[in-house]
Amino acid sequence: MSSARLATSLFATSFATRPTVVGSAPGRVNLIGEHTDYNGGPVLPVALERRTSVAAGPWNCWQAVTSLDGTVHRLDLDGPLRHDWTDYLVGVARELRARGAAPAGARVAVAGTVPVGAGLASSAALTVAAARTLALLAGRSLRTADLVDVAFRAEHDRVGVRCGRMDQTVAAQAERGTALLFETGIGTLERVPFGGRLWIVETGLSHRLAGGELNQRRRECDEALELCRAWRPGLRFLAQLAPADLPEVARRLPPPLLPRVRHVVTETARTRAAALALAAGDLAAVGRLLVEGHQSLRQDYRSTVPEADFLVERAVAHGAFGARLTGAGWGGAVVLLAPAERESRILAGTSRDFGDRFGRVPEAWSTRASAGVRREAPPAGPG
Active-site hit among 37, 146, 149, 167: 167
Least distance (Å) between residue 205 CB and ligand GLA: 15
Q: Is 167 among the residues known to form the active site?
A: yes
Torsion sign, CA atoms 237, 243, 247, 253: positive
| Alpha-carbon span 348 to 12, nearest angstrom | 40
Q: Segment near ligand GLA (CB under 6 A), from 140-148, 163-171, 282-290, 293-301?
A: 163-171
User: What is the rounded distance in angstroms from the CA atom of residue 44 to the CA atom of residue 191?
Assistant: 9
φ, ψ dihedrals at 41, nearest 5°: -105, -175
Q: Does 166 bind ligand GLA (CB under 6 A)?
A: yes
- With CB under 6 A as the contact rule, the residue among 7, 12, 31, 38 that binds ligand GLA is 38
Sheet containing strand 364-368, edge to edge, reads 322-326, 333-337, 197-202, 364-368
Stretch that binds ligand GLA, among 6-14, 63-71, 164-172, 315-323 (CB under 6 A): 164-172
- Binding test (CB under 6 A) with ligand GLA, winner from 4, 10, 22, 35: 35
Q: 306: cis peptide before it, omega within 30°?
A: no
Q: In which region does residue 293 sit, left (phi positive, over 0), alpha (psi from -120 to 50) or beta (all else)?
A: alpha
Find the shortest distance in angstroms from Cβ 161 to ligand GLA: 7
Does 292 bind ligand GLA (CB under 6 A)? Our answer is: no
Using Cβ positions, the residue closest to ligand GLA within the complex turns out to be 163
In the complex, minimum distance from the CB of residue 33 to ligand GLA, in angstroms, rounded to a whole number? 7
AA identity, residue 78: D
Closest CA to 369 of 195, 199, 200: 195
**H or E stretch covering 52:** strand 42-58
CA atoms of 177 and 193, how far apart (whole Å):
6
CA proximity to 137, closest of 28, 238, 20, 4: 20
Q: Which of 37, 183, 300, 307 binds ligand GLA (CB under 6 A)?
A: 37
Q: How far apart are CA 84 and CA 103, in angstroms?
A: 22
163 binds ligand GLA (CB under 6 A): yes
Q: With CB under 6 A, what is the number of residues at the site for ligand GLA?
A: 12
Residues 178-207 interacting with ligand GLA (rule: CB under 6 A): none
330 or 354: whose CB is closer to ligand GLA? 330
**CB closer to ligand GLA, 108 vs 121:** 121
Closer residue to ligand GLA in complex, CB, 47/328: 328
d(CA 79, CA 42): 37
| Closer residue to ligand GLA in complex, CB, 121/333 | 121
Closest to ligand GLA by CB, 10 vs 166, is: 166
Q: Which is nearer to ligand GLA, 7 or 118 (CB)?
A: 118
Binding positions for ligand GLA, 299-338, rule CB under 6 A: 327-328
User: Is 159 a residue that touches ligand GLA (CB under 6 A)?
Assistant: no
User: According to the binding rule CB under 6 A, does residue 167 interact with ligand GLA?
Assistant: yes
Task: Produce one character per residue of 304-319: b if its CB has 16 or more CB atoms within 10 Å, e if not.
Answer: bbebbbbbbebbbebe
Q: What is d(CA 335, CA 337) in angstroms, rounded to the nearest whole number? A: 7
369 binds ligand GLA per the rule CB under 6 A? no
What is the helix (H) or strand (E) element at residue 90, kind and residue range?
A: helix 86-98
- 3-class state of residue 113 by DSSP: coil
Nearer to ligand GLA, 167 or 307 (CB): 167
Q: What size, in residues, is the chain?
A: 383
| Residues taking part in catalysis | 167
Q: Which residues are at the interface with ligand GLA (CB under 6 A)?
A: 34-35, 37-38, 121, 163-164, 166-167, 214, 327-328
